[in-house]
A and B are shown apart, each in its own frame.
Chain A
Amino acid sequence: MGEMEQMKKEAEALKTQIEAARKAACDTDMASAASGVAPAPRVQLKTRRTLKGHLAKIYAMHWSTDNKLMVSASQDGKLLIWDSHSGNKVNAVPLKSSWVMTCAYAPSGNLVASGGLDNMCTVYNLKTPVIKTVKELDAHTGYLSCARFLSDTEILTSSGDTTCALWDLETGKQKTVFLNHVGDCMCLALSPDMNSFVSGACDSLAKLWDIRDGQCKQTFQGHTSDINAISFYPSGNAIITGSDDCTCKMYDLRADQEVIGYQDAALNSGVTSLALSVSGRLVFAGYDDFNCNIWDSLKGEKVGVLSGHDNRVSCTGVPVDGMCVCTGSWDSFLKIWN
């Protein structure tokens, strides 16, 4: 038997073993375990702010840890920093490349980052008298789909080149490359304890990585198309994913499998983005059909809808204090709801 045939055979055997072990742990599912939990109330949120200023599709937004400022990125070639309370624009950062796909706010509030089809992650200092580019992180060989700061000195990126990377912002070099996906990496999310992160990719898999040793620890299957959005559950022991297959899923890290799905036969649009309320009970998922559906994460039921955008909802975000949810859209507007 050829070497490749041999390896395929061994891989199949291991997959069967893993499936059997998962099945053995699968003595119930989340909806059943949550049968004693009181239903979530019907959620009716109002638009409190409509932030107007971008001139083209918005692709990404990210809250600052101060719960007030946020950054948004649009293919009009700008990052805008907003004061969400007043609705005013605080800063505008012109981008060298307008094909932006992601933006991020550092936990300190000092830095923001952006990246996209230029394959680079550019980091800007907001605190200098004039906003300055402090680093251009250039090593990915594919588009930059997502970036998240760990601190002012480290940032994680995910790329269309199928890898994720941890960068040292002082040297501008990659410290660790996370290679295991076989499709474009579309999204990443940091664990609450900052020791690990999860990535979602076009190979329809989600992977859990140890930041320090660079290893992939767990792989989650089930989606049948690209995973566009991913988030850690606030408890730290589950993740939620959103996919082009029109569903979201919760994967339990300790049981190593999917425990509930969020889907509706009537929904045939892909999920573009997701964000969780502070307790994790509510999942805000943005879809291609211009809506953001609100799911009860424990019972799997749809408990509300945020309607108001005139085009695809491309990004969603809940600030650390959980006081609102922000949606951003290809219609060029951001809306704040609570």
Chain B
Amino acid sequence: MARDMSDKDILKMELEQLQKEVKNTREPVSKTAKEICEWVEAQAAEDPLIKGVPEDKNPFKEKVLDITEQLWDIDYHMVITHGKEELQSNGENFCITV
């Protein structure tokens, strides 16, 4: 750990690292940045946070019970007769008073 090292040892470690890194090859930014842009542009078309997530395909869409749909699913007669029907969906209770 650098904490246990003497100032001299730290300096030696930094120097050795610089001796290695000075040998690294460096490509021109004009080439590397252009390649990054091209890569991103190719991927961005399919990036859900850029193109948006359609409501019907969104696993995180808000859990709102569509009351209209539920009414059509159950016996309409039953709802009218009983006046109040408890519907359960996803463990949540909804009451409809007709």
What is A's interface to B at a CB cutoff of 8 Å? 3-4, 7-8, 10-11, 14-15, 17-18, 21-22, 24-30, 33-34, 36-37, 40-41, 43, 45, 48-49, 68, 84-87, 141-142, 161-163, 179-183, 215-219, 233-235, 237-238, 252, 254-257, 259, 277-282, 297-298, 318, 321-325, 336, 338
Contact = CB atoms under 8 A, between A and B. Distances in A.
B22 A255 contact: no
B40 A280 contact: yes
Give me the 5 closest cross-chain CB pairs, A-B, nearest first.
A279-B43, A33-B33, A48-B60, A14-B18, A279-B47
B24 to A, nearest CB: 6
B40 A10 contact: no
A282 B60 CA distance: 20
Contacts of A18: 18, 21-22
Contact of B58 (A162, A259, A338): A338
Interface in B1-38: 1-3, 7-8, 10-15, 17-22, 24, 26-30, 32-37
Nearest to A303: B50
Nearest to A68: B59
Contacts of A33: 29-30, 33-34, 36-37
Contacts of B80: none
B49 interface: yes
A29 B32 CA distance: 10
Nearest to A26: B29
A36 B18 CA distance: 37
Contacts of B10: 182
A163 B3 CA distance: 10
Nearest to A28: B30
B62 to A, nearest CB: 6
A48 B62 contact: yes
Interface in B43-59: 43-44, 46-50, 53, 58-59
8 contacts: A8-B11, A14-B15, A25-B26, A162-B2, A182-B2, A255-B27, A323-B48, A323-B59
Nearest to B50: A281
Nearest to A336: B60
Contact of A7 (B2, B15, B21, B47): B15
B61 interface: yes
B60 A257 contact: no
B11 to A, nearest CB: 5
A252 B11 CA distance: 27
Given A279-B47, A323-B48, A255 B11 contact: no
Contact of A142 (B1, B28, B37): B1
B47 A322 contact: yes
Contacts of A87: 63
A138 B24 CA distance: 35
B49 A7 contact: no
A4 B11 contact: yes
A25 B32 CA distance: 10
A287 B24 CA distance: 34
Contact of B26 (A4, A21, A85, A321): A21
